[in-house]
Amino acid sequence: MAKEGADMTEETEFMIDKNVGKGLENVESSGNAKEMRAVILAGFGGLNKLKVTKKAMPEPQDGEVKIRVKACGLNFLDLMVRQGTVDNPPKPPLVPGFECSGIVESLGENTKGFEIGDRVMAFVNYNAWAEVVCTPVDFVYKMPDEMTFAEAAAFSLNFVAAYMMLFEVASLREGMSVLVHSAGGGVVSLCPGQAVAQLCSTVPNVTVFGIASCFKHAAIRDSVTHLFDRNVDYIQEVKKICPEGVDVVLDCLCGENTGKGLSLLKPLGTYILYGASNMVTGETKSFFSFAKSWWQVEKVNPIKLYEENKVIAGFSLLNLLFKQGRCSLVKSVMDKLLCLYEQKKIKPVVDSLWALEEVKEAMQRIHDRGNIGKLILDVEKSPTPLMASDSTETSEAGEEEEEPEGDNDSKERMPFIH
């Protein structure tokens, strides 16, 4: 099998805070240098920090796979990255994105298990929102034949996070009950509402309490057992049905919901925090929102946990992969999930498809909590004529162009909606 040698001279590093800044220098066009389109985050802040630009195409290093990207997943976590609210964010300019799907274009040395032309999905330590990515072979998985590229880009983070929280952390079993926030989302910061509901249905007699905005209820009502409005006192509603409480609480919101979640746990129940989307209120980072969310978090007393027989846990799939080296565990989970997919027991829910040039509008849709399922950046999709003239048009890497205030609000959003 022919393999392309690695042209990059720096050693690949997996840590989030080390890997991102490489290769984002302005490209000097020279001779036969290959270029690609990519979304660049020029600096932390609002939507105007995002640009589509041309940059040097990466080549695979030792143990890496080069993928011609077809689709990328867009998560609430990407909004937090844009604002700089994630812990120890990498220094911009950078290419956002953590998951993609596409076709293997070439292989680095000592890369086994894949061939050129394979259809794959992959985790990427940033840099996913581009026409080409290179990522270690341990983060790459073959797609089932019947899975589309959009489905694959909606699959990896959502379902792996949901499965690991339910079965690895909470030990979900027959007859248990689960409460999940953002039940209509694909994964908010990783909020796997739809994935959680589908995986719970694979276990007999599991009761799922979903919390979601009212306008999403019609679309997701059949996927959960009980559904409540996020703006009402859902604690009392849940306790009317389960006076003892629930076995598992999955919280991607943080803030005041932490105390509410802990109060709903029955003895030996597990509360899992895996996001903090309540910290994101405006387009840019807000110290007030951050402080309010932190202040509202109930201060956990270990003695109280001991007395009440409750478990509190945290989960970060990206840290597990990129910082803690548990890729073999994640692969075993992915194998189980692909079996469930092939048995037609689970299926990723795609909300809409967007061109790279429409990334601002796509991010706004997530910020408005308007999606039911996953938003996908379709690399081959052409932007609508209205958006093609937007300030996301191709520009020099890292350059920032000013936008007139209210410009985004005046534009119609015209994605391909599933």
Per-residue pLDDT tens digits for 341-400: 999 999 998 999 999 999 999 999 888 877 778 999 999 999 876 654 444 444 433 333
| Best mean pLDDT range from 82-91, 240-249, 256-265, 301-310 | 240-249
pLDDT value for 398: 37
Mean pLDDT of 52-76: 96
More confident position, 289 or 84: 84
In this prediction, residue 27 has a pLDDT band, given cuts at 50, 70 and 90, of very low
Mean pLDDT of 91-119: 96
Mean pLDDT of 242-270: 87
pLDDT value for 415: 54
Mean pLDDT of 9-22: 40
Of the chain, the percentage scoring pLDDT greater than 90 comes to 55
Say yes or no to pLDDT of 331 above 50.
Answer: yes
More confident position, 370 or 93: 93
Say yes or no to pLDDT of 15 above 80.
Answer: no
More confident position, 140 or 24: 140
**Per-residue exposure over 56-75, b if at least 16 CB sit within 10 Å of its own CB, e if not:** bbbbbbebbbbbebbbbbbb
Structure tokens at 148: 């589309």
Mean pLDDT of 106-113: 95
Mean pLDDT of 32-41: 88
DSSP-assigned letter for residue 410: G
In this prediction, residue 235 has a pLDDT band, given cuts at 50, 70 and 90, of confident
Please name the helix (run of DSSP H) or strand (run of DSSP E) that holds residue 363, with its range, or none.
helix 359-367
More confident position, 305 or 193: 305
Say yes or no to pLDDT of 190 above 50.
Answer: no
Say yes or no to pLDDT of 87 above 90.
Answer: no
Of 244, 282, 253, 247, nearest in space to 364 by CA = 282
Sign of the alpha-carbon dihedral angle for 385, 387, 390, 395? negative
Per the CB < 8 A criterion, the answer to whether 338 and 146 are in contact is no
CA distance 294 to 279: 9
pLDDT value for 400: 38
Q: Which of 153-162, 273-282, 369-378 has the lowest mean pLDDT?
A: 273-282
Q: Which domains does the chain have, with CATH numbers?
A: 35-150 (3.90.180.10), 156-347 (3.40.50.720)
CB proximity list for 95: less than 8 A, separation 6 or greater: 20, 24, 38, 39, 40, 41, 55, 126, 127, 128, 129, 130
Q: Mean pLDDT across the chain, nearest whole number?
A: 80
CA distance 150 to 347: 12
Say yes or no to pLDDT of 206 above 80.
Answer: yes
Say yes or no to pLDDT of 2 above 80.
Answer: no
Mean pLDDT of 210-224: 75
Say yes or no to pLDDT of 130 above 90.
Answer: yes
Say yes or no to pLDDT of 55 above 90.
Answer: yes
pLDDT value for 204: 96
Per the CB < 8 A criterion, the answer to whether 368 and 342 are in contact is no
pLDDT value for 394: 42
Q: Which of 3-12, 132-141, 159-168 has the lowest mean pLDDT?
A: 3-12
Say yes or no to pLDDT of 35 above 90.
Answer: yes
In this prediction, residue 406 has a pLDDT band, given cuts at 50, 70 and 90, of very low
